[in-house]
Structure 1
Amino acid sequence: MSASSLAPSSDRRHDLDWIRVGAFFLLILYHVGMFYVPWDWHVKSSHEVEALEPVMQLTNPWRLTLLFLVSGAATRFLADSPARDGRVGAGRLAGSRTLRLLPPLLFAMFVIVPPQSYYEIVEALGRVAPQADAYHNAFTADFWVRYATASGNWCDADGCLVTPTWNHMWFVAYLLVYSLLLAGLLALSSGRLRALGGLLERGLKGWGLLLWPIVFLAAIRWGLASRFEISHDLVNDWYNHALSFSAFLFGFLTARSETLRAGFIRLRWPALILALAAWAAWAGYAWEYRAEDAMPALALRRLMRVVYAADQWAFIAAILGFGARHLNRGGPVLRYLTVGVFPFYIVHQTVIVVAGHHLAPLRLPLAAEAGLLIGATFAACFLAYEVARRLGWPGLLLGVRPERQAANRPPRAA
């Protein structure tokens, strides 16, 4: 590893910022798709679109892994940012991440997320025995107090709805935990941790950048996925932790590596070809065995774990490569969206659930319903951001940190 290959070239990487923005936008569209695809979700449209499943599979294996990787890279730039006494220390990093992530997490769990649980319960009750809504809205004492105190006893044959819950905000909860773990590792041995970036750089030269991460992802899928189904409950989610924390740590360790950045650019086309082939194989497999009682052969299941891993990493490598090659310019739009996508993420799923629940009884044509749902979701996201950036410190509840210097400048991204 040359001394310059991991040298800090700038305070940010515009390509990673664009990728982060694009990944969050894809996530919003994915959750709109959950309203229509046959898979279980909080609320459902009367239009069930089974053919949407392969499209959903296009991003399903890798979208959140990519977000954890990019978040790790952003944490690296934060850790390397100059402070009055040099680099941001481990304690300051932990404090910054806590201030940035904990207020919106708690606010979301008790204000933003309750309507999701409310309408999930309303629709479940309606499917069992259509009846008038006994709660009237998500914030009446009868519902919200039971939600906040875990006393709802909302159970059916499939289990119980445990509240309070973080639902889609699990990503923020995990990101906070991973950031604090990273700060602890930096406090114990910052030099050794950062030196791992050099080891990764040497080990992932050439085609190894495409091959070895697939081997790792296949190994944890073989060893952990069948034993620890993804639950988002933090405590027993070991496959998800192995996947997500590894991606977060990889992003942190390699964010400044010009060698790996050049490697992603060089391998972007082979990675894209492999990604599309793996997606076609995985989506075809998932489609063929989509019935609840379908049971593929053990050998096939094992093979598809490798295919799934290839799908995950090849798409990520292709996105990082094409992003590094073509998304190197910043500008006001990127500055605006880099901060905005966090409040977008916080509010988007609740908007989809609430708007979807009220649109479904209208029995609109599919195109009209989906168009209104997408439009309402993005309009609410932008509105929430515009409100939050004008609130000062209370804007932290929606993920927007106030600008310290000029009041008329846009908030600074974390």
Structure 2
Amino acid sequence: MSVNNRRYDIDWLRVIAIWLLLIYHIAIGFQPWGLLIGFIQNDQSMPSLWVPMTMLNVWRIPLLFFVSGMGVFFALRKRSWKQLLIERTKRILVPFLFGMVAIVPIHVLLIMKYYEQPVSYVANAGHLWFLGNIFSYVLLLLPLFYFLKKHEDGRLSNVIKKIFGSPFGFLIAIALMVAEALIVKPIPFELYAQTLHGYVLGFLAFFLGFCFVYSGSYFWDKVLHWRWIFLAAGLGLYLYRYFESNMVAPNYLMATESCIWVFSAFGFAYKHLNKPSKALSYMSQAVYPVYIVHMAFLYGAYYLIFPLNLSVGLKLVLVILLTTVGCFLCYELIKRINFLRPLFGLKIETKQTHTTTEKALGV
């Protein structure tokens, strides 16, 4: 498990996936079913938004789980299992617990007030369910991952490298995702949050992400070489859903489409995004706190904008602007107050840390 250069494309994919999540959440308030899943809902919906939303929805969350598994591989190259566990506890578990009691209740309060329900304090995981899942995967798989690190030439290591360093790795990934969908039978497939389907699918994607990068360069060579094929296949399966199945295909096709979109995303990111930049330096730091606080600012924007007598298109633009500006202003405040930084997944900053980060990113 050699220490290689930083993979900026994976950092970018994490940033992009979180931003897709934020955009998706904004759009839910303009869907006729938004209230059914706990979102403040505008009186006039925008059904046309569902066309791109349903394309993204089958792969945006699985992509995050794949990337998270890969992140553990890269983190483990330079850490012992104890160091990794401490680092992940600080970066994932602490923000998760803090968010449950201090951040999520804010948007729960706003929806209660908007619909004139009795106001009460409700601590729950909410949109931070993803962090709870990731931390549990680290706990469950860290013994195996550390064993593979310590026995790179062992039998199990060679089996994993042989399987995932060949075309069979792609087929096995798809087969596992299909098997999960057939066994768990999620309805709908895209319902990941706090469900058995979301947990098992996330576990598989997290494990597969680790295995693909552990196996060497084969995965990256092939997603780069086959990226257009994956893109065409993903688009073909989506168009089948769109024209033949009213956006809802059988679960085995949804799982297959999900994997193919993910492979395509890795291929194009590896081709175009594997380089440092000032934008990445800023966004990679900002995106985690933004993810944690975005629902509070989103519901605040809903609360202010939805009652206004404006066109639905203008309301969408204003919600996007208010949410984005609010999130980034909050991040700018958080990063300047050292005792707040760990609560939002940021390291305590010192002058030396700042200089080291800049050098690592080549800026």
**Post-superposition shift, 1:270?**
0.7
The equivalent residue for 2:182 is 222
CA distance in 1, matches of 2:322, 2:342: 23
Post-superposition shift, 1:190? Answer: 4.7
Match of 2:9 among 15, 38, 49: 15
- Aligned partners of 2:153, 2:328: CA distance in 1, in Å? 37
Could you list the per-position Cα deviations for residues 32-64 of structure 1 after superposition, in whole angstroms to 9, with x for gaps in the alignment? Answer: 111112233321112212222221111111111
2:264 to 295, 312, 318: 318
Q: Which residue of 2 aligns with 1:293?
A: none
Alignment of 1:207-356 (within 5 A): 207-226=167-186, 232-233=193-194, 237-255=195-213, 257-284=216-243, 287=246, 304-356=250-302
CA shift in 2, pair 1:24/1:286, >3 Å = farther
Deviations 1:127-180 (A, max 9, x none): xxxxxx654xxxxxxx23xx3xxxxxxxxxxxxxxxx21111001111111122
Q: Which runs of 5+ in 1 are unaligned?
A: 1-5, 82-87, 126-132, 136-142, 148-163, 290-300
Deviates more, 1:172-181 or 1:198-207: 198-207
Return the match for 2:94 from 100, 103, 117.
Answer: 103
- Kindly tell me: are residues 194 and 103 of structure 1, through their superposed partners in 2, closer, same or farther at Cα, counting changes over 3 Å? farther
* 1:101 match: secondary structure: helix
Q: Does the C-alpha gap of structure 1 residues 254 and 168 become closer, same or farther in structure 2, counting only changes over 3 Å?
A: same
Q: Deviations over 1:271-311 (max 9, x none)?
A: 0001001112234456377xxxxxxxxxxx7xx22220221
Of the three residues 79, 95, 100, the one matched with 2:76 is 79
What amino acid does structure 2 have at the position aligned with 1:199?
A: V
2:245 and 2:106 mapped to 1: Cα distance?
31
Letter in 1 for 2:275: R
Partner residue in 1 for 2:52:
55
CA contact (8 A) 2:241 2:247 kept: no
Contact 2:174 2:255 survives alignment (8 Å): yes
CA distance in 1, matches of 2:145, 2:160: 18
Displacement of 1:95: 0.9
Match of 1:370 in 2: 316
Aligned length: 353
Q: 1:191 to 1:410 in 2, by over 3 A?
A: closer
Letter in 2 for 1:241: Y
Q: Contact 1:54–1:287 (CA<8 Å) still a contact in 2?
A: no
Shift of 1:186: 4.2
* Partners of 2:170 and 2:353 in 1: CA distance: 45
> Which string of whole-angstrom CA distances, capped at 9 and with x for unpartnered residues, describes residues 186-218 of structure 1?
466654699656534432456545433222211
Q: Tell me the distance in 1 between the aligned counterparts of 2:247 and 2:188.
A: 24
Structure 2 match to 1:165: 124
Which ranges of structure 2 fall in alignment gaps of 5 or more residues? none
What is the aligned-residue RMSD (CA, Å)? 2.7
Q: 1:339 to 1:255 in 2, by over 3 A?
A: farther
Please list the CA deviations of residues 94-130 of structure 1 after superposition, one character each: whole Å capped at 9, or x if unmatched: 11100111221122112211122223334455xxxxx
**More moved, 331-340 vs 193-202:** 193-202
Q: 1:375 to 1:207 in 2, by over 3 A?
A: same
1:388: how far off? 1.6
Q: Would you say the 8 A contact 2:65–2:206 is kept in 1? A: yes
TM-score (norm 2): 0.88
Query: In 2, distance between residues paired with 1:79 and 1:410?
Result: 19
Q: Please state how far the C-alpha of 1:246 moved relative to its aligned partner.
A: 1.4
Distance 2:153 2:24 in 1: 35
Query: Which amino acid in structure 2 is aligned with residue 91 of structure 1?
Result: K
Cα contact 1:14–1:329 (8 A) shared by 2: yes
Distance in 1 (CA, whole Å) between partners of 2:45 and 2:247 is 18
- Cα distance in 1 for partners of 2:329, 2:302 equals 18
Q: Residue 197 of structure 2 aligns to a residue in which SS?
A: helix
Shift of residue 344 of structure 1?
1.1
Identity %: 26
Q: Closer, same or farther in 2 for the Cα pair 1:50/1:208, shift >3 Å?
A: same
Structure 1 residues 376 and 197: alpha-carbon distance in aligned structure 2, compared to 1, 3 A threshold: farther
Q: Which amino acid aligns with 2:43?
A: S
Larger CA deviation: 180-189 vs 255-264 = 180-189
Q: Which amino acid aligns with 2:105?
A: P
The structure with more radius of gyration: 1
Tell me, yes or no, if the aligned pair for 2:164 and 2:211 is still in contact at 8 Å.
no
Letter in 1 for 2:295: Q
Is the contact made by 1:185 and 1:193 (CA closer than 8 Å) also made in structure 2? no
Superposed counterparts of 1:173-188, under 5 Å: 173-186=132-145
Q: Is the 8 A contact 2:92 2:135 kept in 1?
A: yes
Aligned equivalents of 1:23 and 1:122: distance in 2? 31
Task: Quote the Cα distance in structure 2 between the aligned partners of 1:59 and 1:228.
Answer: 14
Could you tell me how far apart the structure 1 residues matched to 2:287 and 2:356 are? 14
CA distance in 2, matches of 1:65, 1:174: 12
* CA contact 1:272–1:315 (8 Å) conserved in 2: yes
Q: Which moved more, 1:366-375 or 1:279-288?
A: 279-288
Q: Which has the higher helix share?
A: 2
Residues 111 and 181 of structure 1: is their aligned pair in 2 closer, same or farther, counting only changes over 3 Å?
Answer: same
Q: Which letter does structure 2 place at the counterpart of 1:19?
A: L
CA offset at residue 70 of structure 1? 0.7
Change (3 A) 1:327 1:281: same
Q: 1:286 to 1:205 in 2, by over 3 A?
A: same
Question: Aligned partners of 1:72 and 1:275: how far apart in 2?
Answer: 22
**Aligned partners of 1:250 and 1:357: how far apart in 2?**
40
